[in-house]
Amino acid sequence: MKRALGICLAALLILPACEPKQKDVDVEAEIARNLKEGDSNLRNNKVDEAKTNYEVVLGYDANNAGALTGLGRIALEAGDSAAAIESLEKAVAADANFALGQASLGRAYALAKDWAKAAEHLGKAWELDKETEQYALEYGVALRESKQLDKAAEILEEVAEINPKIKYVYRELGKAQFDAGELDKALRTFMKAQSAWAGDQDAFAGAAMVYEAQGEISKSIDQWSAYIQQDCCSTYSKDVAQPKLAELKAKENAAPNEPAPSEPTEG
């Protein structure tokens, strides 16, 4: 009897302890939840939390375009164009019709000064999402920087027509027109930019460059002075605007004064 009892006790000891059954994970729900939280955290500058959310998603789905785009945007905000491009290329490979992924990749190439690639992907983003005029504005800028000036002006004019209140559209259009040598048109556009956004100092710099190109030194001086009143201390102001203003003032002072018209003599 004792021997049988001992055998029973030994058997009980080697049996696995009863564990509660783990609840199955709803993978799709977890992906959706972490994507939503990641995007929210990124909007609120909670970068570490957002990165964790996106990495959780990629643990379930290594080719999730939303999570890859999220990590790319984090790298982009950090100024790491190489890391951003790597992640965002994977994102658009996974889903070429994800407009935010295409736009973010375009922005990463813009950061890397690869303007042709930036224009390619920002153009695709605008094609996919015609409700987000910001994509078109950045597309126009990338086209201008890649010297596709006619197309840049066409896109920027389209943006201005759709949403004339979008910030800096006239300034960017004026730059495209100036680069194309359309000085009168560029000047009108820069003046419109100054009216639309009083704090857009680059519109004053643009007008100053047009006036100088037209030989209107005094007017160029006025525009550079207005620029410097708004931006006294940036690198551009110190390295470009202020030296240019000094150069133009010296040129104006060195110019011979035109003789005053002679009075008619009585005959």
Of the candidates 76, 137, 78, 131, the one whose C-alpha atom is nearest the C-alpha of residue 101 is 76
- pLDDT in the model for residue 267: 42
Flag whether pLDDT at 241 surpasses 90. Answer: yes
Q: By the 8 A CB rule, do 73 and 105 touch?
A: no
Query: pLDDT tens digit string along 76-119?
Result: 999 999 999 999 999 999 999 999 999 999 999 999 999 999 99
Q: What is the pLDDT of residue 130?
A: 96
12 pLDDT above the threshold of 80? no
Q: By residue range, what is the domain housing residue 175?
A: 167-253
Please state, as a whole number, how many other Cβ atoms lie within 10 Å of the Cβ of residue 32.
13
Position 115 in a domain: no
pLDDT at 168 exceeding the cut of 50 = yes
Domain count, the chain: 1
**Residue 218 within a domain:** yes
- The pLDDT-based confidence of 198 (bands split at 50, 70, 90) is confident
Residue 22 in any domain: the answer is no
CA dist 29 and 53 (Å) reads 13
Residues 6+ apart with CB under 8 A from 184: none
- Tens-place pLDDT, residues 114-164: 999 999 999 999 999 999 999 999 999 999 999 999 999 999 999 999 999
Both tokens assigned to 108 = 């990463």
User: For the domain that residue 188 is a member of, what is the CATH number?
Assistant: 1.25.40.10
pLDDT of residue 9: 47
pLDDT over 60 (residue 69): yes
pTM of this prediction? 0.83
Asked whether 156 and 176 are in contact (CB, 8 A), the reply is yes
Is 174 within a domain? yes
Helix, strand, coil in percent for the chain, rounding step 5: 75, 0, 25
Tell me what the mean pLDDT of segment 231-255 comes to: 94
Percentage of residues in the chain having pLDDT higher than 70? 87
Whether residue 105 lies inside any domain: the answer is no
pLDDT at site 19: 54
**Residue 6 domain-assigned?**
no
DSSP output for 112-168: TT-HHHHHHHHHHHHHH-TT-HHHHHHHHHHHHHTT-HHHHHHHHHHHHHH-TTSTT
Residue 248, CB half-sphere, CA atoms under 13 Å: how many? 22
**Is the alpha carbon torsion for 74, 75, 79, 85 positive or negative?**
negative
pLDDT surpassing 80 at residue 221: yes
